[in-house]
Amino acid sequence: MQVGDKSLNYSSLQILRLDQNYLGDQLSDSVRSNIFAYLISLKSLNLSANGITNLHTSTFAPLTNLTNLDLSYNNIGTLDIMQSSLTNLLNIDLHVNSIHTIAGNLRIGLEIKAKKRNSTFGIDLRNNTLDYSCENLDFLNWLYGHQRNMKGFELYVFQLSDGKIMDCAWFRNNISHLDANCRSYTLIIVMCCIGISSALATVMGGVIYRHRWKLRYLLFMSRKRFFGYRRLPDYTVIENYRFNAFISYAEDNIRFILDEIIPKLETENVSLCLHQRHFLPGNAISDNIIQAIQSSRKTIVILSEAFLRSKCCMYEFNMARMESIYSRQDRVCLVIVMLEHVPHNKMPLEMLRWIQENSYSEYTHERDGQVMFWERLVSAIR
C-alpha cells in the first residue's frame, strides 16, 4: 500500500511516521518524489533514518499544513527544499546528518513565517559538521544571530578548511574574525588583481606607444618581405635609387612646392618624387609612402604648422625617420626644411628630438640667404 494511492483517503491524516525505511532514492527522484501529494492536512512528518542524501526541492510542496519535519539520522549535506508553499513549517529536526549549510531561501522563509505567526522557528543541527569557511560566511552569521532558535546549540561543532573540528565556544569567539578576514582577503585580492592588471596595461601601453612608429615600420617591412617584391641590387653603383628626393609637404604649402621647390631643384638635375606624379592609384596610401621613401635617396620634409596637423604628413616623417634609423646603416636620409617658425611646444616629441639631434635647413625670404639655402639643400640631397 502506497501513500500516494488514490483509492485511500489520506486527506485528514495529520501525523505520519515513516522512519527507518529506505525512501532516500525515491525522495531524491523528481518523478517518484510526489508521494505526499494527497496529504494536505499533514502536520507532522517523520522521515528519520531513511538513508536520505538528497531531497528534491518540490518533495514537500503539497504539505501546506506541515509544522514539524523530522529528517534526523540521514546523510543530508545541504538542505534546500521548496518552502514557499510550506506556510506553516516552523520546526525541522536535522540532527545526525552531514549538513554543511542551509539554503538562504529556506532560512529567510523560516524567519518570515515565524514573524507572521508571531511565533518562533526551531532547527536541530546537533551532530552535524558545519562548514566554517568564507564561502559559508552568510550561513554562519545567520546561525550566530539565531542561536536561540537552534536546539542544543552548545553541542554544535564546526569543521575548518584544514579539517580541524572546533566547538561552539570557539565559534562564538572567532566568528567576528572570520567576517573581518573574509572581507579583507576578498578586498585585497580584488585590489591586487586590479592593480596588477592596471600596471601591466599601463606599462604595455607605454611601451607600445613609445615604439609605435618602429612597430608600424617593422610590420610593414615584414609584410613586404614575405608578401611583396624585392628590389634587385645594382652592384655597379653605391645605391640604386630611382629618385634623389621624396618631397613630403602639406597641401596648404602647395604653392611653395610648385613655385620654388620643383623649379629650383629640377633645374639642378635633382629628380623628385611627388604625390601627384608618382603615387600609384589603387595602392594603399601607406604603401605608396613607404615605396616613395625607399625609392628616394633623401626625404625632404617641408615643415610648417599645416604639416603638423596632417596625419599623412606625420606618417611620412615617422616612416622616413624609421627608414633612416633601421635601414640605411646610420646614413641620414631625412632632411627637414623649416618653411616657417614652428614653436617647439607644437611639435611632437619625435620631431623635436630629431631636430635637436640632427641639423635642419631654415627657409628665408632674403635674397642672399636664399642662395645659400638652395645650395645647402642641393648639397644635402646629393
CB atoms within 10 A of CB 263: 10
Contacting residues for 220 by C-beta, under 8 A, at least 6 apart: 286, 290, 319
What confidence category does residue 170 fall into, taking pLDDT thresholds of 50, 70 and 90? very high
pLDDT of residue 20: 92
* Cell digits of residue 163: 579539517
Give CA separation, 329 vs 144, 292, 301, 318, in Å.
77, 19, 20, 17
Please compute, for residue 378, the number of CA atoms within 13 A of its CA located in the half-sphere on the CB side.
16
Give CA separation, 64 vs 19, 248, 358, in Å.
21, 87, 91
* Cell digits of residue 243: 629618385
Is the pLDDT reported for residue 2 higher than 90? no
Name residue, grid cell 531531497: 55
Residues 128 and 25 placed together within one structural domain of the fold = yes
Name residue, grid cell 629618385: 243
Name residue, grid cell 652592384: 235
Residues 174 and 237 placed together within one structural domain of the fold = no
Q: Which of 163-167, 300-304, 378-382 has the lowest mean pLDDT?
A: 378-382
**Of the candidates 147, 123, 14, 10, the residue with the CA atom closest to the CA atom of residue 70:** 123
Residues 166 and 77 placed together within one structural domain of the fold = yes
Is the pLDDT reported for residue 270 higher than 50? yes
249 domain-assigned = yes
Residues 140 and 25 placed together within one structural domain of the fold = yes
Residues 112 and 242 placed together within one structural domain of the fold = no
Is the pLDDT reported for residue 328 higher than 70? yes
What is the crossing angle of helices 311-326 and 285-294, to 10°?
A: 40
Please compute, for residue 359, the number of CA atoms within 13 A of its CA located in the half-sphere on the CB side.
4
365 domain-assigned = yes
**What is the domain-level CATH number for residue 353?**
3.40.50.10140
Cα-to-chain-centroid distance, residue 132? 31
- pLDDT mean across residues, the chain: 85
Amino acid occupying residue 178? L
Question: Which of 153, 184, 215 marks a domain boundary?
Answer: 184
Is the pLDDT reported for residue 230 higher than 60? no
Residues 143 and 279 placed together within one structural domain of the fold = no
Question: Which of 162, 184, 206 marks a domain boundary?
Answer: 184
Residues 176 and 70 placed together within one structural domain of the fold = yes
Residues 131 and 255 placed together within one structural domain of the fold = no
pLDDT of residue 182: 81
- Total tally of structural domains belonging to the chain: 2
20 domain-assigned = yes
State which residues form the domain around 28: 15-184
88 domain-assigned = yes
What confidence category does residue 231 fall into, taking pLDDT thresholds of 50, 70 and 90? very low
What confidence category does residue 238 fall into, taking pLDDT thresholds of 50, 70 and 90? very low
Is the pLDDT reported for residue 329 higher than 70? no
Using an 8 Å Cβ cutoff, are 75 and 52 in contact?
A: yes
Residues 153 and 231 placed together within one structural domain of the fold = no
pLDDT of residue 237: 39
190 domain-assigned = no
Residues 179 and 317 placed together within one structural domain of the fold = no
Digit-coded pLDDT (tens) for 185-227: 666 778 888 889 888 888 887 777 676 656 666 666 665 555 5
272 domain-assigned = yes
Q: Which of 209-218, 224-233, 262-271, 363-372 has the lowest mean pLDDT?
A: 224-233
Q: State residue 230 phi and psi, 5-degree precision.
A: -115, 140
pLDDT of residue 228: 52
Average pLDDT over residues 350-376: 86
Digit-coded pLDDT (tens) for 35-45: 888 888 999 99
Residues 39 and 117 placed together within one structural domain of the fold = yes
Digit-coded pLDDT (tens) for 65-109: 999 999 999 999 888 886 678 889 999 999 999 999 998 888 998
299 domain-assigned = yes
**SS3 of 198-242:** HHHHHHHHHHHHHCHHHHHHHHHHHHHHHHCCCCCCCCCCCCCCC
What confidence category does residue 169 fall into, taking pLDDT thresholds of 50, 70 and 90? very high
Direct distance between the N- and C-terminal alpha carbons of the chain, in angstroms, rounded to an integer: 111
Please compute, for residue 248, the number of CA atoms within 13 A of its CA located in the half-sphere on the CB side.
32
**What is the domain-level CATH number for residue 131?**
3.80.10.10
197 domain-assigned = no
Residues 68 and 159 placed together within one structural domain of the fold = yes
pLDDT of residue 323: 85
